[in-house]
């Protein structure tokens, strides 16, 4: 598999050839794929790759139960981190997250830890 390196905001991100940086576009389901589950499986794999790239880029964990400590907050938040804005998908923009009723940017996260009972978020 071919890889490419993109440089964005002073950071390097390694992507598989043909992948784009932080695109959460659901893509297009391939109804012509061989077998009843091939198209769906490939579509899910593409979404998983996009999510992993986004997580690496912003230093967050999506779809897993986490504990997040924010600047100027004495107690950590527990739950699932959600992306609540479209920003962060395009180079030069920063996403906004939500957890426990609070909205915040990645630069206000002091720490994020995946919890051991890390059940998956309902997709």
CA distance 10 to 119: 33
Q: Give the side-chain half-sphere CA count within 13 A for 96.
A: 8
Asked whether 75 and 62 are in contact (CB, 8 A), the reply is: no
Using pLDDT thresholds of 50, 70 and 90, give the confidence band for residue 79.
Answer: very high
Beta bridge partners of 113: 67
pLDDT tens per residue across span 106-116 = 999 999 999 97
Residue-range domain boundaries for the chain = 3-58, 65-114
CA distance 70 to 47: 28
pLDDT tens per residue across span 32-47 = 666 666 777 888 888 8
CA distance 40 to 29: 7
Token pair listed for 55? 């997580």
Asked whether 78 and 69 are in contact (CB, 8 A), the reply is: no
Q: pTM for this one?
A: 0.58
β-strand pairing of 97-99 with 82-83: antiparallel
Beta bridge partners of 96: none
């Amino acid at each position: 598999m071919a890889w490419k390196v993109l440089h964005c905001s002073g950071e390097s991100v390694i992507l598989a050839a043909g992948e784009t940086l932080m695109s959460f576009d659901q893509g297009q389901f391939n109804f012509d794929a061989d077998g009843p589950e091939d198209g769906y499986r490939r579509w899910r794999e593409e979404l998983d790759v996009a999510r992993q790239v986004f997580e690496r880029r912003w230093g967050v964990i999506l779809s897993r139960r986490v504990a997040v400590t924010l600047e100027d907050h004495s107690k950590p938040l527990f739950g699932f981190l959600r992306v609540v804005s479209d920003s962060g998908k395009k180079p030069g923009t920063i996403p906004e997250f939500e957890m426990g009723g609070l909205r915040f940017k990645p630069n206000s996260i002091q720490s994020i830890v995946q919890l051991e009972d890390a059940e998956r978020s309902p997709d």
